[in-house]
């Protein structure tokens, strides 16, 4: 019997995926753009991303906490694109408030957008937050052979995105970019 196409596509995918994790936050920075003290700058979503990546045997090569500032975000993403990473994930700044600028900062860097990610993430989120899913602008794309995911900043959104989409599909996406085991 022939295996299904999605399963056959996931054969020979990259095993050890190198992640750069970025938390985007307004509340963890003072009005001058300086990080507040580590005790006040608790990052539950960043901690959760790190744990989920490590639990699945992949590697976190970089973690950053940046303010909701488009220049800071774009500069950091541009640097990460030049590093030896496979997947870049941002958490936070995907909503509709004036401070939410992650999408505006990053999407111009995409060579290709992965529209299905945002669509599927919102579909999965309906069970948790109902019609409020219309407020998220979660997205993903490819920039210089790197996969970039932009997800909401809540720990529940991190759990959902990583467990249901990012970790199951990152290797598959990388295979399509020519990165294999």
Q: What is the pLDDT along the chain (181 residues), one digit of tens a residue?
A: 455 665 555 555 657 899 999 999 876 554 445 554 444 567 899 999 999 999 999 999 999 999 899 999 999 999 999 999 999 999 999 999 999 999 999 999 999 999 999 999 999 999 999 999 999 999 999 999 999 999 999 999 999 999 999 999 999 999 989 886 6
The confidence score (pLDDT) of residue 178 equals 84
Q: What is the pLDDT of residue 15?
A: 73
Beta strands in 26-84 (DSSP E): 59-67
**What's the pLDDT at 42?**
78
pLDDT at 128: 92
Calculate the alpha carbon distances from 44 to 8, 106, 112, 113 in Å: 36, 23, 30, 28
pLDDT at 1: 46
Cβ pair 28, 36 in contact under 8 A: yes
Record the pTM: 0.88
Residue 36: per-residue pLDDT = 46
**Cα torsion 98, 99, 103, 109: sign:** positive
Q: What is the CATH number of domain 15-176?
A: 3.40.980.10
Q: Percent helix, strand, coil in the chain (nearest 5)?
A: 45, 20, 35
For residue 14, the cross-strand partners are: none
């Amino acid at each position: 019997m022939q295996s299904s196409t999605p399963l056959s596509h996931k054969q020979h995918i990259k095993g050890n995926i190198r992640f750069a994790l970025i938390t985007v936050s307004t509340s963890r920075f003072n009005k001058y753009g300086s990080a507040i003290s580590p005790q006040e700058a608790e990052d539950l979503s960043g901690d959760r991303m790190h744990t989920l990546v490590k639990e699945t045997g992949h590697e976190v090569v970089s973690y950053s906490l940046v303010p909701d500032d488009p220049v800071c975000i774009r500069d950091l993403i541009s640097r990460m694109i030049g590093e030896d990473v496979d997947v870049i994930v941002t958490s936070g700044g995907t909503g509709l408030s004036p401070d939410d600028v992650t999408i505006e900062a990053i999407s111009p860097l995409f060579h290709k957008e992965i529209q299905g990610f945002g669509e599927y993430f919102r579909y999965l989120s309906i069970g948790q937050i109902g019609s409020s899913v219309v407020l998220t602008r979660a997205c993903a794309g490819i920039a210089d052979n790197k996969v970039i995911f932009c997800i909401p900043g809540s720990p529940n959104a991190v759990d959902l995105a990583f467990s249901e989409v990012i970790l199951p599909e990152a290797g598959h996406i990388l295979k399509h970019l020519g990165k294999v085991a």
